[in-house]
Amino acid sequence: MLILRCPAQLQLLEETLRKSLPTTLPVLGTVMTVARGNPASHEVLVDSWPHFSIVLTRLRPEDHRDPKDYYINQLSVFYRDKGALQALLGGTEAVTRERAFQIVGMQDGLDEAVQEVASAKGMKVE
């Protein structure tokens, strides 16, 4: 996953996400916040740039306070391809299983994809 820090990249991403409202709303707010100074210490990750399949927003790992607090460890996601979401959850460093987390998204199939990956890994999802 690539972390977007460049203001031009963040602005282009913001414009792209606006075209797919309301499903992009969970990540769009964070993208806008990061592009405007990032007072909340979040980061925006994409699988590739500029043609991305998934956008993930999260608190910077160094700012995590409690690995058991899934409210602080909230992830927001927008994906164009369910396979990209499953790959993200199943085997990337962007989502670590050492921390409890909650994932927020507004797309159909998000819950099923999370359940499938969790079942394959023998993990419990609440």
Higher pLDDT, 70 or 78: 78
Residue 74, pLDDT > 90, answer no
Average pLDDT, the chain: 83
Mean pLDDT of 65-93: 77
pLDDT at 55: 94
pLDDT at 64: 66
pLDDT at 49: 94
CA angle in degrees (0–180, nearest 5) for 109-92-124: 55
pLDDT at 24: 93
